[in-house]
Structure 1
Amino acid sequence: MISFGNELKPNSIMKTTLLPLLFVLALFSQCRPPAADVPATPKITYDQASIELMKEITPQIHGTWKIQRLQVRNLHGNPSLNQLGILFDSTFRDLATLTLYQARVPRTTPRDFRQSEIDGTIEYKGKTYPIYFDLRANAEWIVAKKGEKGFMLFDFNFPSGSWHYTEPEERFLQDIGMIGEVFALDIRPDKTMTWRGLNRGIQQVVLVKQ
């Protein structure tokens, strides 16, 4: 067999091939730009989310609203409804008018921006009474965008310590369950607001902005 002096052995061929390849890979790894830092998603607390929600919906609540429909359920013989002659589930249409605006004097010091402080009036059968409510965010809405946006206690707002004669119109609003009730409130872009009663005879109140 003829042997050539410059014959390359298999190991020499492998080294000759791998060394340039490793050099090129090392060069590319050094030239590759560093990975861009991905900004961390800011964590929003429940309080911050509540404040943002109140900022969004409070201006929508302000204004004049007509109670277009009020649905009452007489469960278990509600005495207040019975004395009004409401013995069965009933619906009242165009019952009253609400005027709602931001409370001029904060009810907390310092002011609690997690809630929307609303003052206003309710007009029923020619009589006008002062009302108020403080709307707080619904935790289910904050976390999962489900359910109504907030909860509030709707009540008369007569001056503290004052006394007045309770008129029949005022008594009706109390007995039907409108006054002194806790409602779940939702508001939509079509200028419609709904209240769902939680404790007494009112099933739903539908209000339309005027």
Structure 2
Amino acid sequence: MLKLIIGNKNYSSWSLRPWLLLKQAQIPFEEVLIPLYEAGSRERTLAYSPTGKVPCLIDGDIVVWDSLAISEYLAECFPERQLWPAAMADRAEARAIAAEMHAGFTYLRGQMPMNLRRERPRLSKAPEVEQDIARIISIWSALRQRHAGAGDFLFGSFSVADAMYAPVVTRFKSYDVKLPALAQQYADTVLALPAMQEWYAAGRAESWRIAVSELDD
């Protein structure tokens, strides 16, 4: 059985991505949670991941680290699950926005760290954060307009692209970011997923605290 190594559910945005993808695709896996920034955390993680970071997927002798690499590996292993859109043009765009999420939006990530227990506005946001938010809204709104007839997710059916943006959905909720109707509808759809509800419940119940993610405004 696949084994997925993850960090704290309250804070680990990168862990959420492959976990949600596996859940949505109904692919069985064993979950191993290692709390981040605790004594011995890195050593425990290094027993699985060569980088000492999460997430990491173990499939027999195969080790895949990095959330996007894990997603690609799962798409290859389970082609019948259609983890990327079926149409070539849509697949190309889905990969592009997934990569944009993977490599970009650093201001948003830095100033609005994932914290499921938080639910209050960020009183001050740098212009760069506002630019990140505007870009994400434009991606969501354009794709939902175009694929509204095919389903409720970015490309109609749930895909890797949705898993990549799921932590952003949590950030917008945590920091009370006001979204236009289409983007808010999409965010609500993601939050309503049973798998997301499961992740939220577990994350909020955790006792660990990471100070850098507990911002005081």
- Which structure has more helix as a fraction of its residues? 2
Larger radius of gyration: 1
- Which structure has more strand as a fraction of its residues? 1
TM over 0.5: no
Question: Scaled by the length of structure 1, what TM-score is found?
Answer: 0.23
Question: Scaled by the length of structure 2, what TM-score is found?
Answer: 0.22
Q: Which has the higher contact order (CA 8 A, sep 6+)?
A: 2
